[in-house]
Amino acid sequence: MTLSRTHPCAVQAHRLTDDSASVLLEQGGQTVHLRLDPLMPDPALPCFDPAYLPSQAQVVASGGRAAAWFVQLASLEAVLRHFRRGGLMARLVRERYLWLGLERTRSFAEFDLLRMMWQAGLPVPRPLGAAVWRGRLTYRAALLTQRIPLARPLGQCTEPRVWLEAGRVIAQMHQFDVWHADLNVFNLLVDAQDKVWIIDLDRGRRKALTATQRAENLSRLLRSVRKVAPELESTCWHVFKQGYQAVFNDA
């Protein structure tokens, strides 16, 4: 998907109570919806195009289904992700989804969940912008989030203290009643100060979690450990569980 061959369009915007902007555009006969953080530069729409030269887009080496880029937005370093399907469905429809209302689009739902978590002080990247290109029955979507500099996946970390902190972070997420749809060792990042961050909340949701749902989330993460770095199960997984349980013991 590229936005570089677009026509000029009129912009209508209003401020929401959470200080993000909702923007409605008409572009080439289709409706474009944007949800923007105040940090987003103006004009915002070109920033969702990896071909936009000022962004200096660089493909993310792993993840994103070949649809994620590191981009430069004025003084901000960000990650741009275009939503694409995986599995067998991708052979038929690669980047279009059924329209069920704006709030249920992949990018707006993730933006809103990230913003809620970020405002609550949870360690997630700041959401910068969400875009939805709506057709008659389907839509395409993209998301911009602030980049975590010098970050590495948790699966590459062998320090037990980092895994202890990761356990605490996931417990805090669960206490906030957030369920992560794809909790794995690549969606937990560790920065240069060994702070653990949660990324990729696509299809995540906030709803009262049961103990069974929390356990299923942790089981998914453990399967990821066994697949990617099986040696860490014996050295770090028990420490992760200690950190996780300590948060609930202190509650």
Q: Which residues are catalytic?
A: 182
Residue with token string 């209508």: 12
| Size of the chain, expressed as the number of residues it contains | 251
Return the number of other C-beta atoms located less than 10 Å from residue 223's C-beta: 13
Cα 212 to chain centroid distance, Å, stands at 24
Cα 18 to chain centroid distance, Å, stands at 19
Compute the distance between CA of residue 56 and CA of residue 65 in angstroms, rounded to an integer.
20
Residue with token string 């990018």: 107
* Pairing mode, strands 138-146 and 152-153: unpaired
Amino acid, res. 55: S
Residue with token string 């699966």: 155
Amino acid, res. 229: A
* Pairing mode, strands 205-206 and 178-179: antiparallel
Cα separations in angstroms, 228 against 62, 154, 162: 14, 11, 17
Q: Residue 225 in 3-state DSSP?
A: helix
Helices assigned H by DSSP within 40-194: 106-119, 160-175
Cα separations in angstroms, 6 against 1, 105, 158: 12, 22, 47
